[in-house]
Amino acid sequence: MQIHQRTQFVKQSALDLGFSFVGVAKARQLDEEAKRLEKWLNQGFHGEMSYMENHFDKRIDPTKLVDGAKTVVTLMYNYYTDEKPTDENAPKISKYAYGKDYHHVVKNKLKTLLALINEEIGEVSGRCFVDSAPVMERDWAKHSGMGWIGKNSLLINKQQGSFFFLAELIIDLELSPDAPIKDYCGTCTRCIDACPTDAIVEPFLVDGSKCISYFTIELKAAIPDEVKGKFENWMFGCDICQDVCPWNRFSKRHAEPSFEPHADLLGLTRNDWEEVTEEVFRVLFRKSAVKRTKFKGLKRNIDFLLK
């Protein structure tokens, strides 16, 4: 099978599995991105996310994650929904966490894709990554022409915006690489203007330790008093910089049953959340990414918002 045929097979197979976009980049060390990451870490913008300092060499070079790696395949899986809590005063969770944990849903599809490649093309060594290893996923998405990195530091796709999970298949199979596209943010600063905690310190630079998602998910200690009243009712994650992005007017509703919210989730009122019990937490978020905060963490966030 020739290289362009292999590439076409991989892309079509991914689309058949439900991925929205697929791009290909040559596996190599990311020198420019390495300098930027090092500077970001030195500025302390990762806060208490100490894992961002780990495996620096692997993070910037996929050949250290997969021996003989030749290609990074980046895939985008849509999670956008226009569903919202029925009580507009109720605490909110980020759209990505409405349904089952995306790590498992998307990774299972990646494993299927790798199996299909082995079946059709021959023995290919590789690894599947879904936001759980030292991979610079947005940079690889940019290099493979999937979109550009916006001023809010998220990958923006010209066709459908930014409400996507990014995943990677790093393989020792050579495929035809795609070309990057230009930045289409222009002079727009809506994400910067809308961020209530001023986490976007300048265009394309985010202080992660000021982000609402950081405070409500990553931070294990008490949320600092100086951000009291600035969360705009977000109790897990935050979608503000995506909700205001003009490119997300092109977002389309996902078609993944696993991402549908629990039947009771969006119907809970502000009072329901104020009185939520650990038993209700376990029922609502049994297979959800929200489990990451544990009940204690989510209760801390709710109390911070409502009390």
Tell me the pLDDT tens digit for each residue of 188-207: 999 999 999 999 999 999 99
Mean pLDDT across 106-128: 96
Are 228 and 244 in contact, with CB atoms under 8 Å apart?
no
Distance between CA 61 and CA 171 in Å, rounded?
A: 13
Helices (H), 128-277: 137-143, 190-194, 212-213, 240-243, 270-274
- 61's CB contacts (< 8 A; 6+ apart) are 28, 29, 30
The active-site residue, picked from 131, 178, 183, 243, is: 131
Query: pLDDT (tens digit, 9 = 90+) per residue, 30-61?
Result: 999 999 999 999 999 999 999 999 999 999 99
Torsion, CA 39, CA 43, CA 49, CA 50, rounded to 10: 70
Pairing, β 92-93 against β 234-236: parallel
As a whole-number percent, the residues of the chain with pLDDT over 70 amount to 100
pLDDT value at 65 more than 90: yes
Query: pLDDT (tens digit, 9 = 90+) per residue, 124-156?
Result: 999 999 998 899 999 999 999 999 999 999 999
Provide the residue type at 263 as one letter: A
Query: What domain count does the chain have?
Result: 1
Predicted local confidence at residue 23, as pLDDT? 98
Nearest Cα to Cα of residue 94 among 243, 198, 229: 243
Predicted local confidence at residue 184, as pLDDT? 98
pLDDT value at 256 more than 90: yes
Annotation says 87 is catalytic: no
| Domain carrying residue 11 | 1-307
Predicted local confidence at residue 210, as pLDDT? 98
Are 36 and 139 in contact, with CB atoms under 8 Å apart?
no
Mean pLDDT across 166-185: 98
